[in-house]
Amino acid sequence: MKQMKLTLLLTGLTLILVFMGRAIGGQGGMMIALIFACGMNFFSYWYSDKIVLKMYGAREITESENPAFYGMVRRLAQKAGLPMPKVYIMDSDSPNAFATGRNPQNAAVAATKGILRILSEEELEGVMAHELAHVQNRDTLVSTVAASIAGAISMLANMLQWTAIFGGGRSDEEEGSSPIAGIALAIIAPIAAMVVQMAISRSREYMADAAGARICGNPLALAGALAKLQRGVQAAPMEDARPATAHLFIVNPLSGGSIAGLFSTHPPMEERISRLRAMAQSR
């Protein structure tokens, strides 16, 4: 059921992109938009992990450099039945972590110096188990594809807006097209794409919380970590964080959850913690 919902959401994003292409360039524009979407997905599949790691200055570490943290990730990966991912450290005081990679065989997990400093060992295990759950569910690839398509829709919306204002339009004359309709579509389509993208991101966070709690065997430790991280990010937001990659992190690195719920990349923290506590009580 969850996979069907995900498929429908991604299909919806692709259809919005294709429709935007048709509004700008008719049938030819629709085909170009479809090819563009496929190209972006291909690029995201192969290169998104390298880009985001470089973007945040993440440095790969070896076991000899940090045996405690590296060993923790290795133990959790074994419990999850995953290959050992590459392990990275980010030189940031803002407490956060993320996972990336197109599949479990090419995965990486990254943590900031801030998160290593403020969490207990059990809480840090919960966080890294959450990130490995993302790897297990291939969430990083799904979220990156969704973000790429949503970004393309926003770009096409800007093009459509200017096309409508200056009287351009589709090459195949169809009844019902008008500058007002074009401007309306340019406003509505990006909002719809953003809502779909955020819905995908929030649903995957809930799933990773539950799966991560099972991997580490301690839902309350992950709940405690989330509460600490929420306060930590509010006190020290990540200075170089980008909205386009906010969905990758375990907590929103930009504002610590101040964005309105509908447009947030993460579910409400209170609800995440409540679900984990309920999970602990049912064990």
| Token representation of residue 181 | 């309709």
Strand partners, 249: 98
Q: Which of 63, 131, 239, 270 is catalytic?
A: 131
Please check whether residue 208 is in contact with residue 134, taking contact to mean a CB–CB distance below 8 angstroms: yes
C-alpha span between 111 and 131 (Å, rounded): 10
Per-state percent for the chain, helix, strand, coil, to nearest 5: 70, 5, 25
C-alpha span between 70 and 65 (Å, rounded): 9
Residue among 113, 59, 47 nearest 87 (CA): 59
Pairing of strands 59-60, 86-90: antiparallel
Annotate 166-217 with DSSP letters as a single string: TT---SS--TT--HHHHHHHHHHHHHHHHHHHHHHHHHHHHHHHHHHHHHHT
Strand partners, 87: 109
Residue among 47, 133, 49, 119 nearest 86 (CA): 49
Other residues' Cβ atoms within 10 Å of the Cβ of residue 1:
5
Residue 106 has, within 13 A of its CA and on its CB side, a CA count of: 11
State yes or no: is 131 an active-site residue: yes
Whole-angstrom Cα Rg for the chain: 20
Which residue type is seen at 256?
G
Catalytic positions are 131
